[in-house]
Amino acid sequence: MNDVPLLPILLHPDPILRAKARPVAEGDADLVRALAPRMLATMYKAPGIGLAAPQVGEKLRLVVIDLQPDDTPSPMVLVNPEIVAASEERAVREEGCLSIPGQYADVERPARVKVRWRELDGTRREMEADDLLATCLQHEIDHLDGVMFTDRLGPLKRNMLIKKFLKEQKLKSREAM
C-alpha cells in the first residue's frame, strides 16, 4: 500500500462532514474501486481503524475499517452500509475521530448491531458485530449521515472537546507560519 496516493482528511468544522452522503450507484463503480485502496492507505497512515468517504471529501456511502486483530491487516470495504438491527443493551467505549484528531470521549451506543452492505464486487453481505467492531461500524455509518461522535455527547462535554480541538488547530497553524 506504500505506492497508493494518500487522501487529505477533512477536519471539523468542514461542512462536507455534516452532509448526508448519497448511496453508491452502479455508475460509481470505477470511482469506488479507485477510492477504496486510497482510503485504506490514508486510514493506516493516520493511523486509524475506520474512515468514511465524507472524511476525504467524497459524499458517498463508502466506509473502510480494519481493527487489525493480532496486528494482522484485515481490511473491510463496505459499500452502502446500513444498520438493520441494534440491541437495546448499551455499551460505553472511548471514541476518537480522524477528523477531530487528538480528542477522545466516552460514547454510549448499542452494544450489538447487525449491518448490511455490498462488497466492491457487488456481493451482498450481512454480519452481527459487538465490542469494538460494533462501535466502529456505528461511528463510520454515522459519518455517512453527517453525524460526528461529538454529537453523541452531552452539550457541556461536546463544547469543551470542540473548543479544545479548535484551540489546538489555531496553535498548529500559527506554529506553521
All structural domains of the chain with their residue ranges: 15-176
Greater confidence (177 vs 52) lies with: 52
Burial class (CB in 10 A: 0-12, 13-18, 19+), 95: buried
Residue 139 annotated as binding site:
yes
Confidence at residue 1, expressed as pLDDT on a 0 to 100 scale: 55
Confidence at residue 3, expressed as pLDDT on a 0 to 100 scale: 83
CA–CA gap between residue 157 and residue 148 (Å, rounded):
14
Residue 12 annotated as binding site:
no
Per-residue pLDDT tens digits for 109-160: 999 999 999 999 999 999 999 999 999 999 999 999 999 999 999 999 999 9
Confidence at residue 67, expressed as pLDDT on a 0 to 100 scale: 95
Mean pLDDT value of segment 24-32: 95
CA–CA gap between residue 167 and residue 170 (Å, rounded):
5
Instruction: Kindly name the residue from 126, 128, 140, 168 that is annotated as catalytic.
Output: 140
Confidence at residue 175, expressed as pLDDT on a 0 to 100 scale: 87
Residue 71 has pLDDT above 90, yes or no: no
Per-residue pLDDT tens digits for 80-119: 999 999 999 999 999 999 999 999 999 999 999 999 999 9
Residue 143 annotated as binding site:
yes
Confidence at residue 173, expressed as pLDDT on a 0 to 100 scale: 86
Kindly state the percentage of the chain with pLDDT values over 90.
92
Confidence at residue 159, expressed as pLDDT on a 0 to 100 scale: 97
Confidence at residue 121, expressed as pLDDT on a 0 to 100 scale: 94
Confidence at residue 69, expressed as pLDDT on a 0 to 100 scale: 83
50-52 and 62-65 strand pairing = antiparallel
Task: For residue 5, say if its preceding peptide bond is cis, omega within 30 degrees of 0.
Answer: no
Closest CA to 58 of 9, 122, 116, 99: 9
Topology of domain 15-176 in CATH is Peptide Deformylase (3.90.45)
Average pLDDT, the chain: 96
CA–CA gap between residue 58 and residue 16 (Å, rounded):
8
Query: Is 95 one of the catalytic residues?
Result: no
CA–CA gap between residue 11 and residue 57 (Å, rounded):
10
112-118 and 76-86 strand pairing = antiparallel
